[in-house]
Structure 1
Amino acid sequence: MIELLLNGGQVAATTDEQLASALALAASMPQFELWASVPDGPTLCMLRNAEHAWLMYLHEPGDGGFHSCGNEHRAGNAYFRLDNGQVDGYPLAWCIDVEACFAAISFFHGNAGARPDHIDWQS
């Protein structure tokens, strides 16, 4: 079972329909922190601020993980508000299309926490 947290609150995502509703809710929000996880297993995090979004994939709790790779030539940072109110900057080069991020969450959900292979990853 995949657990889903949106801005720190648990969201029902047991069925494909529930996941679709959760992702529709997230899509309506210009900023969020979304975590999808398999208990004691892989985790996928999506951070979004307007048109900027990126992913982080962890094989297991405490893992250094992977982050998404967008255009490596994009300079500067995008800033994201975390669930706890903290604002962190991450390279724009890590940002990818918002819809590609949502597709990755759907893939993760439908494939028992497998790392989405349509994303370019860097460790």
Structure 2
Amino acid sequence: MLVIESWAVDDGTAVGVVVETLRVRIGEGQLETWLAGSSGRKLAFVTNAERAMVVLMDGDDDAGEHAIDPGAEGSSAGFVLSNGQYDEYPDADTVPIEEAFRIVDHIVNRGSWPADVCWAVDR
């Protein structure tokens, strides 16, 4: 029997529809969201409301892997972390926000990266 991993926002808030959860948090000004999986995996979503960095880790000490946009050029600023840090990332290391929503939804609901998504291993 296939067991689907359950996910919650790292503060313990249950995740219903993950994309809706992310949209609400962004609307509240929370541009960084960490999801914790029941298997110990972590999923980070950091956005500037136009692009997002999506990082999937096997646990707290894992550097993980992140979604990439290989054809993208330039960089984008405005990624504000919960500790107040203001980051800028190369666009090749982030994806458009709607694509990020699709990726996160797929990981949460199917347990893996979508087959058509590129990602870089940071381990």
Q: Identify the TM-score tier after normalising by the shorter chain.
A: 0.7 to 0.9
The one-character-per-residue Cα deviations of 1:65-115 (angstroms, maximum 9, x if unpaired) are 11211144512343411011111222121121211111122122212x434
Q: Which residue number corresponds to residue 58 of structure 1?
A: 57
User: Which of residues 112, 118, 121 in structure 1 aligns to 2:119?
Assistant: 121
One-letter code aligned to 1:46: F
How far did 1:40 drift? 5.2
Q: CA deviation at 1:27?
A: 5.3
Q: Say yes or no: does 1:4 pair with 2:2.
A: no
Q: State the identity as a percent.
A: 25
* Alpha-carbon distance between aligned partners in 2 of 1:51 and 1:30, rounded to the nearest angstrom: 13
Asked if 2 retains the 8 angstrom alpha-carbon contact of 1:4 and 1:37, the reply is yes
Structure 1 portions without partners, runs of 5+: none
TM-score (norm 2): 0.74
Normalised TM-score (structure 1): 0.74
8 A Cα contact 1:79 1:90, kept in partner: no
Return 5+ residue gaps in structure 2 as ranges.
1-5
CA deviation after TM superposition for structure 1 residue 120, in Å = 0.9
8 Å Cα contact 1:52-1:96 kept in structure 2: yes
Deviations 1:36-71 (Å, cap 9, x if unpaired)? 221452211111103121211112221121121114
Q: How does 1:93-112 map to 2 (within 5 A)?
A: 93-111=92-110
Go from structure 1 to structure 2 and tell me whether the alpha carbon gap of 1:108 and 1:88 turns closer, same or farther (over 3 Å shift): same
Change in Cα spacing, 1:106 to 1:38, as seen in structure 2 (3 Å) is same
